[in-house]
A = this chain, B = another copy of it.
Amino acid sequence: MGNSLRCMAANNSEVWHRRLSVTHSWGLASVHKHVQYNKFGFIFSGNMEYQLKDAKDILRRTPETLKLLLTNLPEAWLMSNEGPNTWSPYDIVGHLVHGEETDWIPRARIILDHGEGRAFTPFDREAMFEESKGKSIGELLHRFAELRAQSLRQLDELNITPDLLVKRGLHPELGQVTLSQLLSTWVVHDLGHIGQIVRVMSKQYGDAVGPWKAYLPVLTR
Contacts from A to B (Cβ < 8 Å): 3, 9, 11-14, 22, 35, 38-50, 54, 57-58, 61, 64-65, 68-69, 72-77, 79-88, 90-91, 129, 171, 174-178, 180-182, 184-185, 187-189, 191-192, 194-196, 198-199, 201-212, 214-219, 221
Determine whether the beta carbon of B45 is less than 8 Å from that of A80: yes
- Selected from B48, B72, B171, the residue in CB contact (under 8 A) with A208 is B48
Instruction: Tell me which of B39, B73, B80, B196 contacts A44 (CB under 8 A).
Output: B80
Q: For A212, what are the chain B residues with a Cβ–Cβ distance below 8 Å?
A: 174, 177, 181-182, 184-185, 188
Contacts of A54 in B (CB 8 A): 74, 76-77
Contact of A88 among B40, B82, B88, B196 (CB under 8 A): B40
Structural contact, B41 and A90, CB atoms closer than 8 A:
yes
Interface centre among A42, A64, A88 (most CB of B within 10 A): A42
Instruction: Say whether B195 contacts A208, CB under 8 Å.
Output: no
On whether A42 and B81 interact (CB within 8 A), knowing A58-B201, A218-B192, the answer reads: yes
- Also in contact, A57 and B74, with CB within 8 A (given A195-B202, A198-B192): yes
Residues of B within 8 A of A83 (CB): 12, 43-44, 46
User: A215 CA to B72 CA in the complex, in Å?
Assistant: 31
Residues of B near A40 (CB, < 8 A) are 81, 84-88, 91, 129
Cα–Cα distance between A31 and B62 once the two chains are bound (Å): 36
Within the complex, the shortest CB–CB distance from A105 to chain B, in Å, comes to: 16
Question: Chain B contacts of A210 at CB under 8 A?
Answer: 177-178, 181, 184
Chain B residues, CB < 8 A from A188? 202, 205, 209, 212, 216, 218-219
A42 and B79 contacting across the interface, CB-CB below 8 Å: yes
Provide a sorted-by-A list of 21 A–B residue pairs whose CB atoms are within 8 angstroms. Answer: A12-B84, A14-B85, A35-B76, A40-B87, A40-B91, A41-B80, A41-B81, A42-B76, A42-B79, A42-B81, A43-B80, A44-B82, A47-B207, A54-B76, A64-B68, A68-B68, A171-B211, A174-B215, A181-B212, A188-B202, A191-B199
A48 to B200, CA, bound (A): 12
